[in-house]
Structure 1
């Protein structure tokens, strides 16, 4: 396969899936108290973004739609997580307490989710969804999962169009009513959309069965591992080994205690 505009975009999708999942797995398993390690993860992800020629503006533009959902979930953690009280305030009959454990859990969710979103932005900017599915297929991922993701990608836009038609029909017939009545109408629209989705899925399944669909996803592209893919995966794994081994803390220990390098390692 020839290379595209940048190195990462021209890689085999399997190498990107393996590398990015390895980074996410290491980040999830790293304790949040090792903040310097997450700084190294951030530098590693920035290096990948630089190689992929993705600007910070592109990353922030896509993260803008996802970060609010993470904040909405995580903002309540410092107040509901039990532990040692760090700060408290009384508002009327309510006593709000922020705990140390809650703050660390909040940082854990925000930092790991934020770095994972940046990786997701890089992956989506350098890999088309059909190529991603084919990479999963070649990695022997569960076929049912790959098929479901393929159908979701193909028909999610159809469902969006169906929802827009329902909203347009509601807007043309709306003459003003109470808020409770609007909630009833929205619930009715959700039910109608679910029924139409179920009926469409049944028709699609019948049409595919008649045409002899066996569950195999075919593509005109043929991917093949190259030495560039091998070097990319090797570089990511070596970087992760340095981070996971705590090399930064060991070098600091060597500097403080004037120890030799082999003693610190």
Structure 2
């Protein structure tokens, strides 16, 4: 039940958020993101209100909070950088628990962490309540260039295929006793990545030739397979 129909990020449900038009949700996400980014760093109360608003949307969507929190791991690199900023930034210093930290770094790190978390959480909520092909239809309604929509559609369709190919290559390496433990093994991993790129490129050419042979003229109807 918790797995999506066609994508791992989607959470199947019938809430008002799930039923909302995809292009409206895309516009809402864009507007929310722009407002969060434009908010000054020291407006702490505003960030609290944004979080409450986002929490209300999550509650209405019936998506379990743990479902979203597990996927916040994608934000880890930004969290690490935000935690480092008070130590590496210049400017006036302040002592916190006996440690000298940069005031500008503290404020910048807080802003990066708050804005990044709100943006990622909002994006995950959209992905959890909207199926990928509905997002493509929403982008079409918003008049995004047709070719970009098609590229995104193919990415969604074939990301699992490429992921399975990568997993099979990893299993093949491990079955031969190879495990990347130190930088000496990086050349092997790099060659595997190059081989995966070539295979993916060749697969794309074969798919394109198959589409052309079946009358493809440069446009697709995203909802035709419903």
Range class of TM-score, shorter chain: 0.7 to 0.9
1:213-228 mapped onto 2 (5 Å cutoff): 213=216, 214-220=218-224
Measured in 2, the distance between the counterparts of 1:54 and 1:176 equals: 38
Scaled by the length of structure 2, the TM-score of the pair is 0.84
Where in structure 1 do 4 or more consecutive aligned residues deviate above 3 Å?
Answer: 175-181
Q: 2:158 aligns with which of 152, 155, 163?
A: 155
1:26 to 25, 30, 35: 35
Alignment of 1:189-204 (within 5 A): 189-204=192-207
Q: Which has the higher contact order (CA 8 A, sep 6+)?
A: 1
Does the aligned pair in 1 maintain the 2:17–2:61 contact within 8 Å? yes
The 2-side partners of 1:123 and 1:74 are apart by 25
1:33 counterpart SS class: coil
Q: 1:71 Cα shift?
A: 1.5
2:19 maps to which of 10, 16, 19: 10
Q: How far has the Cα of 1:177 moved from its partner?
A: 9.4
SS of residue paired to 1:22 = helix
Instruction: From 79, 91, 94, give the equivalent of 1:86.
Output: 94
SS of 1:154's equivalent? helix
User: Is the contact between residue 134 and residue 217 of structure 1 (CA under 8 Å) also seen in structure 2?
Assistant: no
Cα-Cα RMSD: 2.5
Q: Provide the rounded CA distance (Å) in 1 between the counterparts of 2:70 and 2:14.
A: 21
Q: TM-score, normalised by structure 1?
A: 0.72
| Alignment size in residue pairs | 212
How far apart, in 1, do the equivalents of 2:158 and 2:180 lie? Answer: 34
Larger radius of gyration: 1
**Secondary structure in 1 matching 2:192:** helix
Q: CA deviation at 1:35?
A: 0.7
Q: 1:70-126 deviations in whole A, cap 9, x for unaligned?
A: 2133333223333222349xxxxxxx9631111111111110111112212211121
1:106 alignment counterpart: 109
In the alignment, structure 2 segments of 5+ residues that lack a partner are 1-12
Match of 1:44 in 2: 53
